[in-house]
Structure 1
């Protein structure tokens, strides 16, 4: 595994949540977004070091932003969190080594060459409203999103779950469904899903107010390089429909996609032998 050892990452179940329907008589088909999740992704020692690093950088975090896809303006509407752009060769190596299995589970075919990574902290009232990651990548139909979670023990916050929404079809139009799956932000776990998936972070509470008790995450967007021609992704199926649903969330032409200050970093080559360190994850 890139020259170091670690506990095997373990796949876990993801719960399903059905929100109150707007019409109990709706017969529109619903397709769940592809997703896979690992526990023990970095291992206890490296996860503890990363958490300590995040806490030590408290003074350097700043308010996260949202890019309005219609106006191209950068705002904070619908989001309350602190961010810090970061790079990590160790984390990047883990991503690269796990991607062959992740892509197999998600049914992903396109070439991936770069990442954008932001360290995020959610405290009292921290949240991120319903959105896609179209503002972070050039081609939302082929990019992946990955969220790696960190927190202290015992956990000093409540809430902060990720809701990953299904896609529904109505009158030939794709859009986010009312059903979703809820993913707990467990320490040293990571979840991968298409960047076109509609998702949100539900509000968190942090009774102590201490930064060390916040919900931390490394959010990474994995895509093709800006200068490359779009690599062909899946030609049909859920990826195609999710990209259609996300069409209206794409930023206006010419709008920069690093509105939180992150810069692209080349994705390292994965070690084929590292596949043995990752038990086959389950699609959910």
Structure 2
């Protein structure tokens, strides 16, 4: 298990230090084993239909991933410093074919209760795309308000890896480049949220 590292500070226009807060995360490899990840990839590919504008294919319940998240949840909550209210889980398949990316965003919005976000990465092997890394940005405090810092950690979207991070953390999907327009050859992730 790997977790994020401290960020430090930066200077604002007046020359005074602006606090930069490191965003914690948990990174795990070989989450479902090769056979489990391959079976989930085939199931996910079978469910791919027309893509929504943001790349969401469909809501998806993944019992094997749900069980692994339940097992990892106490450690993730401790590392992230977040207590879950209910343990409720929502997940969806996110597909990023050639030319797709996501700008910096937060996974939680006013009125939503999700506290933790996760990305579980799958792809055909050998990998048919370049890019598609997940950037988890640090937080900078400007005028007393948290906002997206320029510093980040980049997580490569390796097959059968899981990243768990605060739902209010700024994150971004880097540009995906493929030689094909076939969505099944792009970046595929089970994106989810825990409350």
After TM superposition, the score normalised by the length of structure 2 is 0.88
Any residues of structure 2 matched to 1:68-83 within 5 Å, and which?
A: 81-83=55-57
Gaps of 5+ in 2: none
Q: Which moved more, 1:112-121 or 1:148-157?
A: 112-121
- Contact between 1:137 and 1:221, CA under 8 Å: does it hold in 2? no
More strand by share: 2
1:62 aligns with 2:51: yes
Per-residue Cα deviation, 1:202-234 (whole angstroms, up to 9, x for no partner): 1111112333311100001101xxxxxxxxxxx
**How far did residue 177 of structure 1 move?**
1.1
Q: Which residue of 1 aligns with 2:190?
A: 218
Q: Which moved more, 1:111-120 or 1:190-199?
A: 111-120
Look at both structures and tell me which one has the larger radius of gyration over its CA atoms.
1
* The one of 62, 68, 74 aligned to 1:94: 68
Q: Which residue of 2 aligns with 1:128?
A: 102
Tell me the secondary structure at the aligned position of residue 100 of structure 1.
Answer: helix
- Contact between 1:14 and 1:182, CA under 8 Å: does it hold in 2? no
For 1:136 and 1:148, how far apart are their aligned partners in 2? 25
**How far did residue 24 of structure 1 move?**
10
After TM superposition, the score normalised by the length of structure 1 is 0.62
Question: How many residue pairs get matched?
Answer: 194
**How far did residue 33 of structure 1 move?**
0.8
For 1:167 and 1:114, how far apart are their aligned partners in 2? 26
- In the TM superposition, structure 1's runs of 4+ consecutive aligned residues that sit over 4 Å from their partners are 12-17, 21-26
- Contact between 1:149 and 1:216, CA under 8 Å: does it hold in 2? yes
- Contact between 1:64 and 1:83, CA under 8 Å: does it hold in 2? no
For 1:63 and 1:85, how far apart are their aligned partners in 2? 12
* The one of 37, 42, 46 aligned to 2:36: 46
Gaps of 5+ in 1: 1-10, 66-80, 224-284
**How far did residue 12 of structure 1 move?**
4.3
